[in-house]
Amino acid sequence: MKKVATNRKLGRTTDIRLSMLKTQVTDLLWHGKIETTETRAKETKAIADSLIALAVKEAGNFEEVEVKVSRAKLDEKGIKLQNLQRAKMVMNT
């Protein structure tokens, strides 16, 4: 009989569990490490590993493009100011 892959329930409803795992994966990728329980860490590791594998696989399909962004702001007197900023965007090729 084939083993069916399932996620751990972690004592939460589906929406709360998915939200918690997304937050943990984001924090892990952003900060490099997180402090959590062993069971949550195993679930987080599985999701993070799949994201990293996908990023490595698709790394050659993107290019970085520099764009100019115009942002309008108001000063203290209510006069509109144009502010040009440079930003980098990742484009799918």
Whether residue 20 is found in the same domain as residue 51: yes
Range of the domain at 73: 61-92
pLDDT at 41: 94
Domain identity same for 50 and 34: yes
Rounded-to-5 percentages of helix, strand, coil across the chain:
45, 30, 30
Distance CA 17, CA 37 (A): 14
Same structural domain, 42 and 28: yes
Q: How many domains does the chain have?
A: 2
Tell me, yes or no, whether 1 lies in a domain. Answer: no
Dihedral of the alpha carbons of 55, 24, 28, 45, in degrees to the nearest 10: -70
- 71 belongs to a structural domain: yes
Taking 90 as the threshold, does the pLDDT of residue 31 lie above it? Answer: yes
What is the mean pLDDT of the segment spanning 51-63?
84
Q: Does residue 80 form part of some domain?
A: yes
pLDDT at residue 85 is higher than 70: no
- Are both 20 and 42 inside the same structural domain? yes
| Range ranked top by mean pLDDT from 8-12, 31-35, 64-68 | 31-35
pLDDT for 43? 93
